[in-house]
Amino acid sequence: MHGEVQKNLDYVKKVLTDVRKYVNAVSVLNYDQETICPPKAMEEQGEVMTFLENQAFKLKKDPAFLEAAEYVYAHKEELEEFDRVLAESLHRDYLKTKNLTPEKQEEISTAQNKAFVSWIRAKEQSDYSMYKEDLRRVRDLSLEEVSLREEALPVPYDNMLDDYGRGIHTKELDACFERCKERLIPLLKKIQASPVQIRRDFLHRKVTDEQQKQMADYIMQVIRYDLERGAIALTEHPFTSELGRDNIRITTHYHPDAFASSMYSVIHEGGHALFDQLQPRENYDHFIEGEKSMGMHESVSRFYENRIGRSREFVHLIYPKTCEIFPQVMQEVSEEELYRALNIVEPTMIRTEADEFTYTFHVIIRYEIEKAMMEGTVTMEELPELWNRKYEEYLGIRPQNDREGILQDVHWTFGFGYFPCYAMGNMYNAMYYNRMKEEIDLPALVAAGDFETINGWMAENVFKKADRLTVAEWIRDITGRDFTPDDYLDYLEEKYSVIYEL
């Protein structure tokens, strides 16, 4: 690398160091806003977050920074791999934001923060009308932002999907989800017609917050989530936040009559956290820690939550501790009964509480509604009824109010395109699970609680290159095969045919 390239690269990294400080501050405030921030302080805190986000945006819009970043991109072949990934990422950002002014960016951030606050209030009151106009504003600004991009994809919604997973667009998702519906709808009907009855009464026995905290602490210890580099707090909608290199925090939610809910939100969010805690340290040094797609991320969280967390071996591992912490729940409940109850197939309204089998339908519903919103084939006024109708069509149930219907998820307050990542994540991890079991005895390792070996395999094969590859390249690198939903669909069919004796 000749001197001029190094000089520009050093300048780019100097500016990105300052950008990171603003971004980290916003992340801390956002974590606070979604956990312990007083309700009356939320709007003011949102304004502070918007200000800080805009300061970071201005640094990256500075002509000197843009010139240096584009110079480095023009000489990317001289760079080593991590810096080349950074140069390409900055160039993609440049094309996206070239025509986006700081004023417009501030307008978007303000609208999103306002929508978040109104969503919380609307959900509390179960009143979509309190949120509708802010949602409309976020939708309109999302479409406007896409229209300003230098090299926008022809389909507006594809740009939003691409932000969460490069190369994953409506054409691919339409085909994938049609395949899912073809195989899962008939299978769901067979399951529902099965005479097998699974005991579930104990799932809703009363527990205390302290008991749930003890279980959360135990789960984090089991999966080796590093609390010296992380923390856990309570929130309305569980999430994981990467606040810095050694600051990966998770959240959960305690329900007094659903002890398993927090257990599995901790495993899910703990999976996200492990991905960030165990990624290469070089990612931070080269400012590419945010390059992994959300489909990759959701594949990992749902791998720990479902492929491990709902397996017979994991239930065997945690059964004694579950009995110890929740004696009033587990009285006269066998290990087999716990396993079956944790894998029951029962359509429910709430996505985050959905069983492993029906979860994909929740995602398909949101994807189809998002797509209709972006295409303008549904109005904001029609959304609740469309939502309810799709739940009736796919799952045979109908929300009784806005809280358990259109208002249940926070995602749309910040934009669109995320939801498909959850379903795609299930399909990615089914593929690398099949690769993984060729190299290590995963069931035996889970039963023994050997997460050092499990996490080590994940770090080397799944986490290591995630920030440097597109989704398609990444899954091919892990498995040696191109993406297919069939591994996941085969897994569901095999597992639930046994449980329901089909």
| Closest by CA position to 212, among listed 265, 146, 174, 281 | 265
Residue where the block lists tokens 């297919």: 484
**Position 172, amino acid:** E
Catalytic residues: 269
pLDDT in single tens digits along all 502 residues of the chain: 678 999 999 999 999 999 999 999 999 999 999 999 999 998 899 899 999 999 999 999 999 999 999 999 999 999 999 999 999 999 999 999 999 998 999 999 999 999 999 999 999 999 999 999 999 999 999 999 999 999 999 999 999 999 998 889 999 999 999 999 999 999 999 999 999 999 999 999 999 999 999 999 999 999 999 999 999 999 988 999 999 999 999 999 999 999 999 999 999 999 999 999 999 999 999 999 999 999 999 999 999 999 999 999 999 999 999 999 999 999 999 999 999 999 999 999 999 889 999 999 999 999 999 999 999 999 999 999 999 999 999 999 999 999 999 999 999 999 999 999 999 999 999 999 999 999 999 999 999 999 999 999 999 999 999 999 999 999 999 999 999 999 999 999 999 999 999 9
Is residue 420 within 8 Å of residue 290, measured between CB atoms?
no
**DSSP codes of every residue in 114-154:** HHHHHHHHHHHHT-GGGTHHHHHHHHHHHHHHHHT-TT--S
Give me the residue spans of the domains in the chain.
3-152, 170-499
Burial of 428 (0-12, 13-18, 19+ CB in 10 A): buried
The predicted structure's pLDDT at residue 369: 98
**Position 404, amino acid:** E
d(CA 464, CA 458): 8
d(CA 434, CA 478): 10
Q: Any bridge partners for residue 250, and if so which?
A: 232, 240
The predicted structure's pLDDT at residue 353: 84
The answer regarding whether domain 170-499 maps to CATH 1.10.1370.30 reads yes
Do the bridges between strand 240-244 and strand 247-252 make them parallel or antiparallel, or are there none, so unpaired? antiparallel
d(CA 474, CA 467): 9
| Closest by CA position to 34, among listed 123, 138, 117, 118 | 117
Phi, psi of 399 (to 5 degrees): -55, 140
d(CA 243, CA 27): 6
d(CA 319, CA 339): 9
The predicted structure's pLDDT at residue 453: 98
Largest CA distance in the chain: 74
Establish how many alpha carbons lie within 13 A of residue 61's alpha carbon, considering only the half-sphere containing its beta carbon.
16
d(CA 74, CA 64): 15
**DSSP codes of every residue in 25-43:** HHHHHHHHHTTT--GGGHH
d(CA 209, CA 5): 56
125: which 2 tokens? 């009151």
The predicted structure's pLDDT at residue 237: 83
The predicted structure's pLDDT at residue 269: 97
Is residue 374 within 8 Å of residue 420, measured between CB atoms?
no
Burial of 113 (0-12, 13-18, 19+ CB in 10 A): buried
**Position 471, amino acid:** V
Q: What stretch of H or E contains 95? A: helix 81-97
| Closest by CA position to 164, among listed 371, 470, 462 | 470
Handedness of CA 210, 212, 213, 214 (dihedral sign): positive
| Closest by CA position to 95, among listed 64, 55, 60, 52 | 60
Phi, psi of 226 (to 5 degrees): -85, 105
d(CA 450, CA 222): 9
d(CA 502, CA 57): 56
Is residue 299 within 8 Å of residue 479, measured between CB atoms?
no
Establish how many alpha carbons lie within 13 A of residue 248's alpha carbon, considering only the half-sphere containing its beta carbon.
20
d(CA 298, CA 272): 7
170: which 2 tokens? 């409506």
d(CA 69, CA 15): 10
Handedness of CA 153, 158, 159, 163 (dihedral sign): negative
DSSP label of 438: T
3-state secondary structure 368-412: HHHHHHHHCCCCHHHHHHHHHHHHHHHHCCCCCCCCCCCCCCCHH
CA geometry: angle 282, 248, 57, nearest 5 deg: 70
d(CA 367, CA 105): 25
Is residue 485 within 8 Å of residue 176, measured between CB atoms?
yes
